[in-house]
Amino acid sequence: SYELTQPPSVSVSPGQTARITCSGDGLPNQYFYWYQQKPGQAPVLVIKKDIQRPSGIPERFSGSSSGTTVTLTISGVQTEDEADYYCQSTDTTTTYQVFGGGTKLTVL
């Protein structure tokens, strides 16, 4: 089955740059999506189609893609960015949706 692998945790200081990776074991050319989830809340889409930022998402959030790995970059991290982040994509052979295991971003 298709799997997406994320680091369990990333820690940065305020103002620094946080990078969260997501690696897929399938073929490339599938879009990836990123979600931010704060405790007790529903996830929020922060990056769509690898690199696009939905309306209302701050410019400090950006996405990039290389092969079967995508990266969520948060530039100038703020304390309010502390949250869990999940990547999501589609298994090309089955069209099932898959989430990565999630990365806890800690802003020290």
- Touching other proteins, residues 22-41 (CB under 8 A): 31, 33, 35, 37, 41
Q: Give the phi and the psi of residue 81 in degrees, each rounded to 5.
A: -85, -5
Q: Is there binding between residue 85 and other proteins (CB under 8 A)? A: no
- Whichever of 79 and 95 has its CB closer to other proteins, that residue is 95
Please pick, from the candidates 14, 28, 54, 58, the single residue that binds other proteins as defined by CB under 8 A: 54
> 51 pairs with which residues across the strands?
none
Task: Name the minimum Å distance from CB 13 to other proteins.
Answer: 26
- Judge contact between 106 and 82, C-beta under 8 A: yes
Six token digits for residue 28 = 């490339």
* Amino acid identity, position 78: Q
Q: Which is nearer to other proteins, 14 or 51 (CB)?
A: 51
- The residue type of 8 is P
